[in-house]
A and B are shown apart, each in its own frame.
Chain A
């Protein structure tokens, strides 16, 4: 394997790790929503980022999630 290949693999692995970490932290929630919206509601405009995160915490207010002991 050449140095360039090793480097590109390493970069890929790092990107993978960052993606996984952000996913676990829940950072990609807006993107998920946008993707879904793009597929299903072609007519109306999606919420903007600020509105989405507000809506998200408001929904958490109404549907509390348990955290384990």
Chain B
């Protein structure tokens, strides 16, 4: 690879293009010339963006007035995103990935009109965004808000620019060059059997823990909330109806059925309010968390074995519809209402690690609490799944991969703003576990005021008024992030539409919005995990490979559901609180998956001989590895019971051995035994995760070193095929792209290889 860039590559001989057709790629020199042409207007725009961003950061980080206006968060995020997209992501493209639009993508050379279909970049951006954005970026920032607004904001923005978006972009690009291969397959290919197997087991275990904790978030949001239980459970018949409608009545009318579903959903939310007020409704739909957890487990199993058309596909349409609509609505509402935020920039919990929401100091726990939105390993599974099979042109991966993740990061910033905009006393009352507050208003007030936070003076009235406003019996200890975010969204939205009288509607709208994502993630996750398990078991018992074998499918689904169900029940019944003990495990799992994905990417880059820019994946990999391994070690070895699972385990076991009847927040022997059991499982999982990822990272480092010694390694890309279509790379077409598009439009329709679009 001695040749310098300027677009030439070792495939030049293969990539000769049809002389009958206009160019399929903009000349790389022309791209470079356009990039380098700095007109005064262009300079002024970028200087302006930099100045606004810089000013916003000054307001957030240096001025730190009594209150900060939320609009600064928007500018502090959007300006760096634009700069990073324009400069850093282009930089990643040039020396490291070298996308070549003369090469056909899998969507072109494998086109089947179904799974492999070249899709307009803007449409695919929407698809990809809908697939990666879920409840994660909504929940993590809420929990991390206890450390103040600054740490979370800094990490979300810096993290996405140098880690999260880089990971998504690299994985998508490498998968696209390999015909859309999955992360697991790439890991096996690049890291060998040991690394590949460790990556597979890690992925499976991580999926179980992620589904479990997402389900726990829903259970916590719906527990003791008849309104929420009614409206969220109505999504099941609504989805079934949509499924039947699409299958038998009007196949393919996706937008139409989504609109119908949306109207029914709104009715379910409004109806939930009426039903919760009747005595029979309140009686029927007030469910305790354990019952709800069992409900979700049964539901999860049924949903994962039912045919996709009946439940999963229609609910996915509904969830996509709600996702896009609500996110746009929230962004507009934040800009219109511009709430004032009175949370301090950094609270003492950042350094003491004694925060009641999630225990642990800023380093490393901030970086695992906020996973999605800054760096999410789960995205690597999506970016190496459907999306790379639908990309039209190689250079579009920057817009879809890097740009899509920036968008998700912005969702995380909005969630943070929403959580920060609510009263701090209420925030802590909602997010401290029932073990701390006793679950009562009196207990919550005593606990929160006893935290000694400056400027916080919570009253019982404030709590009960807020509960009445949002249509709930109580908002004390509604942990998990979702209810807090819902209160924040309700507060912002009522400022735009409806006023205080609509707050309860908006609260339940937000709960519904989150529950929809999570339920979709729960059964999609269970299905994906079931297929992975079947594939792995197939190595031992070949029959399991046959995914249409019902018994095998049921057994594997049952195993997966039992896995996450056990952790869910454990979280719901945990005498120590649940979310605060389990959420770090969620973040650690997600970041370890990111470390695995980045490790695979690093090995690929090394094998391609790109050593001078190897730091692009190596830097985020090193950071993710240090953060998650430190966090795991603290969870395993810390002598502080609030942080270390084993310290907690030993403390409770010793107390039991000493014959004590209650210890800490566990008020009975059974509760103490439960803690001993739970911490054992959590501690063991921590060990499993950290060991597996150390194996994967080590094999990746070894592969990288080997490649360095040999000056490169085996090329695992699919053979280069010349492309016969053209499409612009970014959101809007550049002048050179416009010129080419015009040339293509002039080609006789009969001779033009069709691309999708309009």
A29 to B517, CA, bound (A): 23
Given A56-B114, A69-B135, A64–B531 Cβ distance below 8 Å?
A: yes
Q: Are B313 and A60 closer than 8 Å at their CB atoms? A: yes
A34 to B756, CA, bound (A): 11
Q: Are B372 and A68 closer than 8 Å at their CB atoms? A: yes
* Mask: chain A, 16-31; 1 = CB below 8 Å from B; 0 = not: 1001111111111110
Q: In the complex, which of the residues A35, A61, A65 contacts B524, with contact meaning CB atoms closer than 8 Å?
A: A65
Q: A residues within 8 Å of B by Cβ?
A: 16, 19-30, 32-37, 39-40, 49-50, 52-69
Q: How far is the CB of A35 from chain B (nearest CB, A)?
A: 6
A28 to B115, CA, bound (A): 13
Smallest CB gap from B372: residue in A:
A69
Q: Are A67 and B114 closer than 8 Å at their CB atoms? A: no
CB-CB under 8 A from A69, the residues of chain B are 134-136, 210, 214, 372, 376, 378, 521, 590
Besides A20-B126, A29-B252, A32-B117, 7 new A-B residue pairs in contact (Cβ under 8 A), listed by A number: A23-B123, A35-B756, A36-B113, A57-B313, A64-B531, A66-B381, A68-B381
A16 to B254, CA, bound (A): 17
Q: Are A68 and B122 closer than 8 Å at their CB atoms? A: no
- Is B247 at the interface (CB under 8 A from chain A)? yes
CB-CB under 8 A from B530, the residues of chain A are 64
Q: Are B531 and A24 closer than 8 Å at their CB atoms? A: no
Q: How far is the CB of A21 from chain B (nearest CB, A)?
A: 7
- Is B692 at the interface (CB under 8 A from chain A)? no
- Is B525 at the interface (CB under 8 A from chain A)? yes
- Is B284 at the interface (CB under 8 A from chain A)? no
Q: In the complex, which of the residues B126, B131, B134, B548 contacts A65, with contact meaning CB atoms closer than 8 Å?
A: B131
Q: In the complex, which of the residues B117, B520, B548 contacts A62, with contact meaning CB atoms closer than 8 Å?
A: B548
- Is B47 at the interface (CB under 8 A from chain A)? no
Q: Are A59 and B114 closer than 8 Å at their CB atoms? A: yes
CB-CB under 8 A from B758, the residues of chain A are 16, 19
Q: Are A66 and B115 closer than 8 Å at their CB atoms? A: no
Smallest CB gap from B116: residue in A:
A36
CB-CB under 8 A from A37, the residues of chain B are 113
Q: Are B527 and A64 closer than 8 Å at their CB atoms? A: yes
CB-CB under 8 A from B258, the residues of chain A are 25
A-B CB contact pairs (8 Å), 12 listed: A23-B119, A23-B122, A25-B321, A27-B252, A32-B756, A33-B117, A37-B113, A53-B252, A66-B385, A66-B524, A68-B136, A69-B136
Given A65-B524, A69-B376, A54–B247 Cβ distance below 8 Å?
A: yes
CB-CB under 8 A from A50, the residues of chain B are 251
CB-CB under 8 A from A33, the residues of chain B are 113-114, 117
Chain B's interface size range is 35 or more
* Mask: chain B, 380-398; 1 = CB below 8 Å from A; 0 = not: 0110011000000000000
Q: Are B254 and A25 closer than 8 Å at their CB atoms? A: yes
- Is B238 at the interface (CB under 8 A from chain A)? no
- Is B698 at the interface (CB under 8 A from chain A)? no
CB-CB under 8 A from A67, the residues of chain B are 131, 134, 316, 319, 517, 520-521, 524-525
Q: Are A32 and B113 closer than 8 Å at their CB atoms? A: yes
CB-CB under 8 A from B520, the residues of chain A are 67
Given A36-B112, A62-B548, A25–B255 Cβ distance below 8 Å?
A: yes
Q: Are A57 and B308 closer than 8 Å at their CB atoms? A: yes
A49 to B133, CA, bound (A): 30
CB-CB under 8 A from A28, the residues of chain B are 123, 756
Q: How far is the CB of B435 from chain A (nearest CB, A)?
A: 25
Q: Are A66 and B382 closer than 8 Å at their CB atoms? A: yes
Q: Are B246 and A53 closer than 8 Å at their CB atoms? A: yes
Q: In the complex, which of the residues B309, B312, B320, B548 contacts A25, with contact meaning CB atoms closer than 8 Å?
A: B320
A19 to B756, CA, bound (A): 12
CB-CB under 8 A from A26, the residues of chain B are 127, 254, 317
Q: How far is the CB of B366 from chain A (nearest CB, A)?
A: 18
A21 to B127, CA, bound (A): 10
A52 to B254, CA, bound (A): 14
A37 to B114, CA, bound (A): 10
Q: Which of A30, A32, A64 has the most CB of B within 10 A?
A: A64
6 closest Cβ pairs, A-B complex: A36-B113, A24-B126, A23-B123, A57-B309, A64-B527, A69-B136
Give residues 240-292 of B contacting A (CB, 8 Å): 246-247, 251-255, 258
A61 to B316, CA, bound (A): 14
Q: Are A35 and B134 closer than 8 Å at their CB atoms? A: no
CB-CB under 8 A from A19, the residues of chain B are 758
Give residues 685-706 of B contacting A (CB, 8 Å): none
A5 to B134, CA, bound (A): 41
CB-CB under 8 A from B372, the residues of chain A are 68-69
Give residues 522-581 of B contacting A (CB, 8 Å): 524-525, 527-528, 530-531, 547-548
Q: How far is the CB of B418 from chain A (nearest CB, A)?
A: 18
Smallest CB gap from A65: residue in B:
B386
- Is B673 at the interface (CB under 8 A from chain A)? no
Q: How far is the CB of B327 from chain A (nearest CB, A)?
A: 13
Q: In the complex, which of the residues A23, A34, A64, A68 contacts B134, with contact meaning CB atoms closer than 8 Å?
A: A68
- Is B754 at the interface (CB under 8 A from chain A)? yes
A37 to B324, CA, bound (A): 31
Smallest CB gap from B390: residue in A:
A32
CB-CB under 8 A from A62, the residues of chain B are 547-548
Q: Are B324 and A30 closer than 8 Å at their CB atoms? A: no
Q: Which of A22, A40, A65 has the most CB of B within 10 A?
A: A65
Smallest CB gap from A51: residue in B:
B251
- Is B120 at the interface (CB under 8 A from chain A)? yes
- Is B132 at the interface (CB under 8 A from chain A)? yes
CB-CB under 8 A from B426, the residues of chain A are none
Q: Which of A22, A36, A52 has the most CB of B within 10 A?
A: A36
Given A26-B127, A68-B134, A49–B113 Cβ distance below 8 Å?
A: no
A40 to B246, CA, bound (A): 28
- Is B379 at the interface (CB under 8 A from chain A)? yes
CB-CB under 8 A from B313, the residues of chain A are 57, 60
- Is B237 at the interface (CB under 8 A from chain A)? no
* Mask: chain B, 591-612; 1 = CB below 8 Å from A; 0 = not: 0000000000000000000000
Q: Are B382 and A68 closer than 8 Å at their CB atoms? A: yes
CB-CB under 8 A from B19, the residues of chain A are none
CB-CB under 8 A from B122, the residues of chain A are 20, 23
Smallest CB gap from B253: residue in A:
A27
CB-CB under 8 A from B123, the residues of chain A are 20, 23-24, 28
- Is B104 at the interface (CB under 8 A from chain A)? no
A34 to B251, CA, bound (A): 15
CB-CB under 8 A from B386, the residues of chain A are 65
Q: How far is the CB of A68 from chain B (nearest CB, A)?
A: 4
Q: In the complex, which of the residues B136, B308, B320, B548 contacts A24, with contact meaning CB atoms closer than 8 Å?
A: B320
CB-CB under 8 A from B754, the residues of chain A are 35, 39
Q: How far is the CB of B710 from chain A (nearest CB, A)?
A: 35
